[in-house]
Amino acid sequence: MQDGARPHRTEQVFRFLDEYFGNRVIALEYPKFTGAGMDWPPYSPDLTPCDYCLWGTLKDIVYQKHPATLDELESAICVACESISVETV
């Protein structure tokens, strides 16, 4: 994005994101179009390298087993964190 241009937020883009990433997308006005995902928080800080690598890796590991309860989710998060090597971090 340059010169203050806004990101692409058309219905086609949201449908593409929903098809490939499901409800794991965090984007401005995304839930309005799809009814899923999380809205981008207002005044959020700049993205960090963890946003590009670490969190995606953790999500992939955690959601492989489709946790159904909060206890299963918490356990899956702990296992995922322990499985990532120091070199990756």
| SS3 state of residue 38 | strand
What is the domain partition of the chain in residue ranges? 6-42, 48-83
Quote the distance between the C-alpha of residue 71 and its chain's center.
20
Closest listed residue to residue 23, CA positions, set 77, 55, 59: 59
pTM of the model: 0.44
Q: 2-14: per-residue pLDDT in tens? A: 566 666 677 787 7
**Range in 44-48, 78-82, 85-89 with the lowest mean pLDDT:** 44-48
Report long-range pairs for 60-65 (Cβ below 8 Å, ≥24 apart): 63/24
Q: 17-75: per-residue pLDDT in tens? A: 778 877 677 666 666 666 665 556 665 566 666 666 788 888 888 988 899 999 999 99
